[in-house]
Structure 1
Amino acid sequence: MSDGRDLDFDEEILRPVLESGASLCQLVSHEWERVDGALITAALRMNRTFYKWSGALRLQRWNNTTSQFDVVDEMMPVELMEWFRELEESSLLLMEDGHLLLDPNNADRAFIIWWLREMARIPKHQQKCLVFGSVHPTVPVELDKEMPLLHLSLPRRETLGIIFDHVVSESNLQPHQIEKNEALLDAALGLTIMEARLAFGKAIAVRQRLTSTEIDFIIGEKERIIRQSGVLEYFHPKTGWDDVGGLGPLKRWLKNRGRAFSSHAKAFGLEPPRGALLLGVPGCGKSLTAKAVAGLWRFPLLRFDLGRVFGGIVGESEANMRKALEVAEAISPCILWIDEIEKGMAGSQGSGSLDSGVTARVMGTFLTWMQEKQDPVFVFATSNNISQLPPEMLRKGRFDEIFFVDLPAQKTREEILRIHLEKKERADLADVFDLEALARASPGFSGAELEEAVKDALFQAFDAGRELEQQDIASSLEATYPLSKTMRENILEMRKWAKFRARLASDDATETLPEITEEVPRLATERRNLFVKEGQHTNEG
């Protein structure tokens, strides 16, 4: 079953627990074949009999001669554990889908817990261990100190190669229709063996071959599977480095760090970069940079929606977080992109009374992972609101660098307008229009607002039945009320904070925000402080 295919798990995780004399542990995995293989290998090595219980087939014993399971008895869980306690035989017993037995709605839950505690008290000299199988961690508080938790990580390239061989052997493909290589196997990283088997099988069914040309098909299947989780989304960046205007220091820093993932960098003594946090004004290129750097480094880009981590079922949020991080590690090297990270962190600094501390625990797990991760997963986080981030997120060690992305200065605005005209197949007009004049007419505009102005101008020209003119863009800019006016105080505060705590993402000198000569429109929910004089602003320093 195993044939040494999960040596790291056996040597580093399973073997120490079993040889320590533990008589109870929980093994978390969806992959029943790998679980069976690992435990059969351990039982053979330790000269123990291997038993497995499932809700469908009840108690079975592994037959080393026939390499299959033989049915033993129809016992139910409590009766099974009573039998195992009295068994006079060195053995391992796997109880599949144990999480179902500990469901709060299970009438026998208390009896299950009582008997599991009895399992934990089996003397070491009896050489017996009950392995409580589960698809997600389910350790009741009564067993928190007595049930070690073991995780079987997602399969690596070698294990996926075994699945590849098995799928091919069951097909009718000819040798010229088969090409096994690292790139094809790496395309399946992040999948369980069941998912990989299905992806390889579908490629054969649709393409009638399994070669390097099926890499895109396998990645497409992986995208679909990852998207089903609802937490991660696999991106195919089409954004190039030239699509990002300005941000010279940030671009240089990212290009420099990209080289540090190579084997030469490792031999030189460099550690893989941990990540970068981009703070700043909305619409100024933070998310665009994440997509561009994925293309530059040629890394998979996983968008991680922290808001979707939280679920209503007890333990679901923690399980979602662990699963997302496990997928990122399996796919590595990759970029884990967390857009507007402050939204996922909301509540992590509170007392936890509203959600029993779930938010704080989940975020604590994430921060610890960021600090201790060994796999080359580059965390690229963006934030529009510094005040909502916990202090521990901003300290060194979590991210390699914190950048502040400010509003584009005039020269950068000119560059951004050119980029968007060229993207709309108007490169000739970009050479004719006075982009410098348009940039001067748009102080305080974000990159997103400049893009929308170009789009709006195109609508005007199309409606008039003619080609785009410079005046169309000028009219759109004039009709736009930029965020720098509605968020003037916030931007000034961000600039003040970033001056001492972050690295500037741009070489451009900071431009003074336009003065507000008219009353700023207020939302119905905004309350005016009667003791603050309107138009009184903080110095920009």
Structure 2
Amino acid sequence: MLDSLELLIRAGNPLIAIETTDEDRATNLVRSVVLRMRQSLFEWSLTTGLRPVGDGGPNRAVIDGGEVMPTLEHIPNIAQRTVFVFKDLGPHCKDALVHRTLRDLLRLCSRTKSTLILIDALPLPEEIKRFTIRFEVGWPDAAELEQCVKKTYQKIRDESQQNVTAKLRRKELEQLVQNLRGLSCAEAERVVAAAIYADNTLSADDLQSIVEGKRTLLGSAGCLEAIAADVEPDQLAGLANLKTWLKRRRGGFSKEAREFGLESPRGMLMLGVPGCGKSLCAKVVASEWKMPLLRLDPGVLYNKFIGETESQLRRALLQAEAMAPVVLWIDEIEKAFASASGEGGGDGGLSKRMFGTLLSWMQDHRHPIFIIATANDISALPPELMRKGRFDEVFFVDLPSQHVREQVLAIHLKRRNRDPANYDLPRLAEAAEHFSGSELEQVIVSALFSAFSQRRELADEHLLEEIGNTRPLALMMEERIHELRGWAHNRCVSAD
């Protein structure tokens, strides 16, 4: 990264733009490069004015803070081969005089081999963006984040009046550092500090709280929504083959896996009957692997302005890369690209273009991102999506068997403070043939309302009554379910 910035400066680019919220990291990077090149360096901001920077940091201002025009007018008086860093100059560039003065300075800088570097948290106005060359500072790498964790722990231990300890093995430290990716060093320091202050210990038990802290810090942005992965593995009944497959790939993002010659797991596609646990599985994977869960909402992608929809998708994928390692959940993926598998389509080819962008990214990205895509309608899925290389495996999730229905009933009874041993689960499960997991949950909810209205405790008779009153989706859409099973036979791996 240092060499790339140095190359841009030596090549004589008069205006370099750095768009980042991590201003300190960008500033320190520029300082280290320029001082190593032994060139003069000045920094300007609206509050501090124009200050020369030496080995010991910024010196007294030569132009006081305030309007930027006095600084721009002063630049021609400074010697050649000088680098000027402007912080948050973007909003000023909309002023006609500032814009024109910058344009004049670009010609001057080309002659004097000087460089203007703009560090902004927000995108530059179009008036000036076209004259810049963009430089990405990126996010802190694993080594920087590990050093940040160690410095944060050491600082808290030195300052705290209580005994602060660390109980992290090397493998656990690597996982902690992986979960901090996508944060600046300052943000990572705050997340780690919160985990330490909670119990005066930094241990493997803090991994989940760090994931939650990162989720809270980043919140939801754009088309990606940060989802709380608050589901334990024992709350997902059945799916034995799928659970075994996931267990084998759990350590696929570790350093040992890379040294062994393994690439990071890419993800899986789950097809099947609605309400049978596909979406719940995404939360279980994120919880079990202690990774943040992001949901890509296809409905938010589409925008009325031409070209904006594709930009939304690209921004969402870039955000996922910045936050990696993550579990990226694309729920009901067929709805996002409804016209991509047909001839033409009524959206002017928009779905096909978006689908092509997603496929290229899935094939080419090398970030630790595990994709979980779910789908209910096979006919709407383009065949390119299901070939090997896009996903590691394609699973079919069918209606739960008798034994799994008993497990589902037991899970939901426990969640509602009922002892499953007090109920005839085999009889209930047999009566609820063709029911999906979500339908079984609603049976219990409805039976609880019925028992509550009668001021009685929940009994088998309430549950059997609600089972009899429910018409399951598998019977209402029997032909489509049969067609779905027929298609999945010999094409997908059974999840159970």
The bucket for the TM-score relative to the shorter chain is 0.7 to 0.9
The CA deviation string for residues 202-246 of structure 1, in whole angstroms up to 9 with x for no partner, is 668x65956447666655433321225473325343321x43333
Query: Which residue in the other structure is 2:136 paired with?
Result: 151
> What is the Cα deviation at residue 450 of structure 1?
1.4
Gaps of 5+ in 2: none
Task: Give the one of 119, 127, 135 matched to 1:133.
Answer: 119
> What is the Cα deviation at residue 296 of structure 1?
3.9
Query: Which residue in the other structure is 2:164 paired with?
Result: 177
User: Does the 8 A contact of 2:229 with 2:284 survive in 1?
Assistant: no
CA distance in 2, matches of 1:156, 1:382: 32
What secondary structure does 1:276 align onto?
Answer: strand
Task: Give the one of 445, 448, 453 matched to 1:458.
Answer: 448
Query: Which residue in the other structure is 2:397 paired with?
Result: 405
Task: Give the one of 324, 347, 359 matched to 2:319.
Answer: 324
CA distance in 1, matches of 2:479, 2:90: 52
CA distance in 1, matches of 2:108, 2:488: 57
The CA deviation string for residues 421-467 of structure 1, in whole angstroms up to 9 with x for no partner, is 4555433135x4433xx444334321110121133233334444444
CA distance in 2, matches of 1:208, 1:443: 48
* Between 315-324 and 16-25, the greater mean CA deviation after superposition: 315-324
CA distance in 2, matches of 1:115, 1:354: 42
Residue 476 in structure 1 maps to residue 471 in structure 2: no
> What is the Cα deviation at residue 492 of structure 1?
4.7
Cα pair distance change 1:113/1:475, threshold 3 Å: farther
What secondary structure does 2:249 align onto?
Answer: helix
CA distance in 1, matches of 2:330, 2:376: 12
Residue 108 in structure 1 maps to residue 99 in structure 2: no
* Between 420-429 and 174-183, the greater mean CA deviation after superposition: 174-183
Query: Which residue in the other structure is 2:267 paired with?
Result: 275
Cα pair distance change 1:90/1:376, threshold 3 Å: same
Letter in 2 for 1:48: Q
Residue 46 in structure 1 maps to residue 34 in structure 2: no
CA distance in 2, matches of 1:433, 1:301: 33
CA distance in 1, matches of 2:90, 2:12: 24
Task: Give the one of 256, 279, 283 matched to 1:287.
Answer: 279
User: Does the 8 A contact of 1:404 with 1:505 survive in 2?
Assistant: yes
Cα pair distance change 1:474/1:268, threshold 3 Å: same
What secondary structure does 2:219 align onto?
Answer: helix
Cα pair distance change 1:169/1:448, threshold 3 Å: closer
CA distance in 2, matches of 1:479, 1:259: 46
User: Does the 8 A contact of 1:321 with 1:366 survive in 2?
Assistant: no
CA distance in 1, matches of 2:284, 2:149: 34
CA distance in 2, matches of 1:374, 1:337: 17
Gaps of 5+ in 1: 1-8, 508-541
> What is the Cα deviation at residue 286 of structure 1?
0.2
Query: Which residue in the other structure is 1:510 paired with?
Result: none
CA distance in 2, matches of 1:356, 1:119: 41
What secondary structure does 1:73 align onto?
Answer: coil
Letter in 2 for 1:456: S
CA distance in 1, matches of 2:341, 2:63: 52
CA distance in 1, matches of 2:294, 2:461: 41
Letter in 2 for 1:153: G
Cα pair distance change 1:408/1:101, threshold 3 Å: farther
User: Does the 8 A contact of 2:15 with 2:115 survive in 1?
Assistant: yes
The CA deviation string for residues 449-492 of structure 1, in whole angstroms up to 9 with x for no partner, is 01211332333344444444333222111111222344445545
> What is the Cα deviation at residue 190 of structure 1?
3.6
Task: Give the one of 317, 338, 341 matched to 2:333.
Answer: 341
Letter in 1 for 2:492: R
> What is the Cα deviation at residue 21 of structure 1?
4.0
Cα pair distance change 1:395/1:243, threshold 3 Å: same
Trace 1:300-379 onto structure 2 (pairs within 5 A): 300-308=292-300, 317=312, 320-321=315-316, 324-329=319-324, 332=325, 334-345=326-337, 366-379=358-371
Letter in 1 for 2:47: A
Query: Which residue in the other structure is 1:426 paired with?
Result: 419
Query: Which residue in the other structure is 1:505 paired with?
Result: 494
User: Does the 8 A contact of 2:328 with 2:371 survive in 1?
Assistant: yes
> What is the Cα deviation at residue 55 of structure 1?
3.1
What secondary structure does 1:452 align onto?
Answer: helix
> What is the Cα deviation at residue 374 of structure 1?
2.0
Task: Give the one of 80, 90, 93 matched to 1:89.
Answer: 80
User: Does the 8 A contact of 2:63 with 2:70 survive in 1?
Assistant: no
Query: Which residue in the other structure is 1:3 paired with?
Result: none
Query: Which residue in the other structure is 1:70 paired with?
Result: 60
Cα pair distance change 1:225/1:262, threshold 3 Å: closer
Cα pair distance change 1:442/1:176, threshold 3 Å: closer
Cα pair distance change 1:227/1:503, threshold 3 Å: same
CA distance in 2, matches of 1:84, 1:163: 41
Letter in 1 for 2:436: S
Provide the alpha-carbon RMSD of the alignment: 4.4
User: Does the 8 A contact of 1:200 with 1:210 survive in 2?
Assistant: no
The CA deviation string for residues 170-224 of structure 1, in whole angstroms up to 9 with x for no partner, is 97324833649637666644432333344456668x6595644766665543332
Query: Which residue in the other structure is 1:195 paired with?
Result: 187
Query: Which residue in the other structure is 2:225 paired with?
Result: 232
What secondary structure does 1:72 align onto?
Answer: coil
User: Does the 8 A contact of 2:296 with 2:329 survive in 1?
Assistant: yes
Letter in 2 for 1:155: P
The CA deviation string for residues 85-125 of structure 1, in whole angstroms up to 9 with x for no partner, is 785421222222244346xxx3539x7389459738954x8
> What is the Cα deviation at residue 258 of structure 1?
2.4
The CA deviation string for residues 348-370 of structure 1, in whole angstroms up to 9 with x for no partner, is 8999998997x888776654443
> What is the Cα deviation at residue 35 of structure 1?
0.8
CA distance in 2, matches of 1:61, 1:391: 60
Cα pair distance change 1:396/1:218, threshold 3 Å: closer
User: Does the 8 A contact of 1:445 with 1:484 survive in 2?
Assistant: yes
* Between 453-462 and 83-92, the greater mean CA deviation after superposition: 83-92
Letter in 2 for 1:455: V
User: Does the 8 A contact of 1:28 with 1:137 survive in 2?
Assistant: yes
Cα pair distance change 1:475/1:298, threshold 3 Å: same
CA distance in 2, matches of 1:48, 1:275: 48
Cα pair distance change 1:281/1:354, threshold 3 Å: same
Query: Which residue in the other structure is 2:151 paired with?
Result: 165
Letter in 2 for 1:90: R
* TM-score normalised according to structure 2 size: 0.78
